[in-house]
Each structure stands twice: as C-alpha cells, then as structure tokens.
Amino acid sequence: MKIERFEDIEAWQLARELTRKVYGLTKKTKLAGDFGLKGRIQDAAGLPRSMRSLFNWGSSMHNIAEGFDSETNPEFVRFLRYAKRSCTEVQSELYVALDQQYITNTEFQDVYDHAGRTFTLLGNSDRARCYSWFHQVLDSLQTRPKKSNPTRLSSSQAER
C-alpha cells in the first residue's frame, strides 16, 4: 500500500486509537474530576494543535501527522521521536490514575498496552527502520510535489 497521506501510516492509526481510548477513559471514570491529571493524559494522547503551541506539549497522533508534512527525512524522524515520548508519557500518567484508584487494573492494562504497541512501532521505524511503512512514508516524502510558496511581485511587476 502506498502511503500518500498521514492517515495511511499504521503508527498514526494506532496513535489515533490510543487517543480515543484515553479520552474515553477520562470521560467515564473518577479521573474526569481530576482536571490536572485528566488534562495531562489527554495532552499526551492527543492535545489539539491550537493548544499545543501555547503549552509546548505534544501527542503521538499529532506529531506523526506533523512529521509527515516535514520537508526532510531527519525532521520526520525527529517528530517520530516526539511521538514515542508522548506514548511513554501516557503510560506514566496511567500509573498516577491507577494509584489514585481512578481506573481499574483492566482499564490501565488496556491503554498501557496500546501505548506500548504504538511506541514499539514508532521505535522500530526510528531506530532499525525495518518496517516497510516507514520506507513508504520516506519515499512519499521524496516523490510528492513540494508545496509552492506564492511569489511576491516586485512593485514594477505589480504595476503592469
């Protein structure tokens, strides 16, 4: 399968599901009342881009998408690393939720394992670069047309 959009990336799909799971968990448990922890775990899983720039927080899902739109392979890899860190942050925040008895062991394990699967896929793409999806993404970055920047007309061209 050729990867033409960030939505085609398997790691992004896993990260999207992680975001759904985290938001679902924070809506229907005691965690909903702990606004600090709820916000931190949601931020790590999928903070909206408009808020991320204000607080310099990231998320696995958004970093994969943003990295896909990067101009260079090293920049894309950098965003994949950010995405990995966000998976680890979700796992760490889950411990706080578990220790505060906001979530059950089953809820903890389900989301923790999903974050781990997402991390593993991102880790393999970053270090070993052995998954075909990663090479497909890199190929698509190299073959897709570059975004054109509108050129400014000089004052003499604009007068014509």
Domains of the chain: 10-142 (1.20.1440.60)
pLDDT per position as a tens digit, 58-76: 588 999 999 888 878 888 8
What gap in Å lies between CA 81 and CA 118, rounded to an integer? 12
pLDDT of the residue at 138: 64
What gap in Å lies between CA 160 and CA 151, rounded to an integer? 16
Question: Is residue 78's pLDDT more than 60?
Answer: yes
Contact 76, 12 (CB under 8 A): no
What gap in Å lies between CA 94 and CA 102, rounded to an integer? 9
Contact 37, 140 (CB under 8 A): no
Of the listed ranges 57-66, 74-83, 109-118, 135-144, the one predicted with least confidence: 135-144
pTM (predicted TM-score): 0.70
Contact 142, 9 (CB under 8 A): no
Which amino acid, 91?
Q
- What's the DSSP call for residue 100? T
What gap in Å lies between CA 37 and CA 26, rounded to an integer? 9
Contacts for 55-59: CB closer than 8 Å, 24+ residues apart:
58/82, 58/83, 58/85, 58/86, 59/15, 59/19, 59/83, 59/86
pLDDT of the residue at 53: 37
Pairwise pLDDT comparison (122 vs 140), residue with the higher score = 122
What gap in Å lies between CA 77 and CA 126, rounded to an integer? 6
Which amino acid, 111?
V
